[in-house]
Homo-oligomer: A and B are copies of this chain.
Amino acid sequence: ISQPHPLDPAGLQTRAFATRLKHDTPPKAILIVNKHRTKLVIEAIDTLLAYLRQKYPDVRVFHEDRPDIPPGVEIWRPGPDTEKIDLVVTLGGDGTILHASSLFKVGAVPPVLSFSMGTLGFLLPFHIDDYAKALDSAFAGRATVLHRMRLSCRFHDTDGERLEGQSQDWQVMNEIALHRGSSPHLNTIDIFVDGQHLTEAVSDGLIVSTPTGSTAYSLSAGGPIVHPSLSALVLTPICPRSLSFRPLVFPSSSSITLRVSERSRASAGLALDGQTSHVLGPGEAVTVEASKYPIPCINRSSIAGPADINDGEGVSPGKEDDWVRDINNLLQYNATFRSKALLRHSRT
């Protein structure tokens, strides 16, 4: 690991994973993101705010414009002239981070600190009980991040022009999915890679996923699991009418265009990180590329104590890799067939 790799001399892929977050100055503006307002979430926000006001009184705290803004918190609206945010804090499930990503869908995202409310999640490194340690590491410049790749999606009309009302590219964190939705008919989609025609897919739909998204919809559709520190695009078909379709993995330098065929019997509904967006009709297309704007996710090693870092076993990158733990604990990866002792008798 330590020595430069000939195909990756700058160690980019490794660095992506281990980058230490640099703050010239501690965060001055924090955006709190939550999707649902359960009792747990409300209490967690209160606790966070109290801690911030007491320990970091100068920091400004923002929240999306919604009926139920916590007191003393300023309203933030996505847009070109908006307040600059230095740190995003999410409270909730995996969907909350996807939502945070969508708030910054047309440009750069500040570092994201994600707290679970007690439920495990793939994109949730921190338990809410560790809020103080986690915030302190971010303010002290000790946080390390995993730059999770995003995809940039551009929509085209039948003439290859930008689709009306879609003046800006859309960045997604998990995937873009095209699906026949409730149409009874399959859709026919032409797939181009770097401008070259790859194949015509007759199927329920297609997914272009990031490595992060490889454990989401793409997995259910039969795709491989791709480590999030790799930069790659995964193309996974959804119920293709072919025996010989197989998921494909492309380098992040690739550009994938999906164009609904003129002879497609169904149009293709778009879902961006699970959010239903518009519908592509025959001749319309979307071009997907690696985004210039990855999402910097603060990871668990940020709050690893010295004991975790300098034990006899070494400062293993393994220590820091939440991913191995997650695919075992959350996906129950390779759960082998049990032959454990029977606790009860035959009749159970």
Contact = CB atoms under 8 A, between A and B. Distances in A.
A227 B250 contact: yes
B199 A328 contact: yes
A46 B204 CA distance: 37
A346 B329 CA distance: 13
A134 B12 contact: no
A326 to B, nearest CB: 10
A251 B225 contact: no
A153 interface: no
A340 interface: yes
A89 B174 CA distance: 44
A166 interface: no
A38 interface: no
Nearest to A302: B346
Interface in A222-240: 222-227, 229-232, 234, 237-240
A325 B130 CA distance: 40
Contacts of A198: 324, 327-328
Interface string A119-155: 1110001110110001000000000000101000000
A330 interface: yes
Interface residues of A, number: 126
B330 A337 contact: yes
A48 interface: no
B194 A130 contact: no
Interface stretch (A21-29, A54-62, A99-107, A268-276): A268-276
A264 interface: no
Contacts of A199: 328, 333-334
A93 to B, nearest CB: 8
Contacts of A300: 346-347
B247 A341 contact: no
Interface string A198-227: 111111100000010010010111111111
Contacts of A248: 224-227
A252 to B, nearest CB: 6
A335 B336 contact: no
Contact of A243 (B9, B200, B293, B333): B333
A292 B4 CA distance: 9
A336 B208 CA distance: 20
A336 to B, nearest CB: 5
B249 A202 contact: no
A129 to B, nearest CB: 6
A85 interface: no
A8 interface: yes
